[in-house]
Amino acid sequence: AQKVTQAQTEISVVEKEDVTLDCVYETRDTTYYLFWYKQPPSGELVFLIRRNSFDEQNEISGRYSWNFQKSTSSFNFTITASQVVDSAVYFCALSQLNNFNKFYFGSGTKLNVKP
Amino acid sequence: DAGVTQSPTHLIKTRGQQVTLRCSPKSGHDTVSWYQQALGQGPQFIFQYYEEEERQRGNFPDRFSGHQFPNYSSELNVNALLLGDSALYLCASSLYGTGGEDEQYFGPGTRLTVT
Q: Is the pLDDT of residue B46 over 90?
A: yes
Contact B53, A100 (CB under 8 A): no
Measured in angstroms, the CA of B106 and the nearest CA of chain A are apart by 6
| A53-105 tens-digit pLDDT | 888 888 888 999 999 999 999 999 999 999 999 999 999 999 887 765 789 99
Average pLDDT over residues B69-91: 97
Residue A3 to residue B100: CA distance in whole angstroms = 15
Residue B52 to residue B96: CA distance in whole angstroms = 12
> Do A43 and B56 make contact, defined as CB atoms within 8 angstroms?
no
Q: Which helix (H) or strand (E) holds A24?
A: strand A24-26
Q: What is the pLDDT of residue B95?
A: 82
Q: Which of A6, A44, A105 sits opposite B108 (nearest CB)?
A: A44
Question: What CA–CA distances, in Å, run from B76 to B7, B8, B10, B29, B103?
Answer: 11, 12, 14, 18, 22
Q: Which of B48, B92, B100 sits opposite A32 (nearest CB)?
A: B100
Which among A81, A108, A105 has a CA at the least distance from the CA of A25? A105
Which among B79, B72, B82 has a CA at the least distance from the CA of B24? B72
A54 and chain B in contact, CB less than 8 A? no
A75 and chain B in contact, CB less than 8 A? no
Q: What is the pLDDT of residue A56?
A: 82
Q: Is the pLDDT of residue B100 over 60?
A: no
Angle at B66 between CA A26 and CA B79, to 5 degrees: 100
Residue B21 to residue B65: CA distance in whole angstroms = 11
A66 and chain B in contact, CB less than 8 A? no
A34 and chain B in contact, CB less than 8 A? no
| A24-39 tens-digit pLDDT | 999 998 888 899 999 9
B60 and chain A in contact, CB less than 8 A? no
Q: Is the pLDDT of residue B75 over 70?
A: yes
Neighbours of B80 (CB within 10 A): 11
Count of residues making up chain B: 115
Q: Which of B43, B44, B103 sits opposite A50 (nearest CB)?
A: B103
Cis peptide before B8 (omega within 30 of 0): yes
Contact A10, A109 (CB under 8 A): yes
A63: Cβ–Cβ under 8 A, 6 or more apart, which residues?
A79, A80, A81, A82, A83
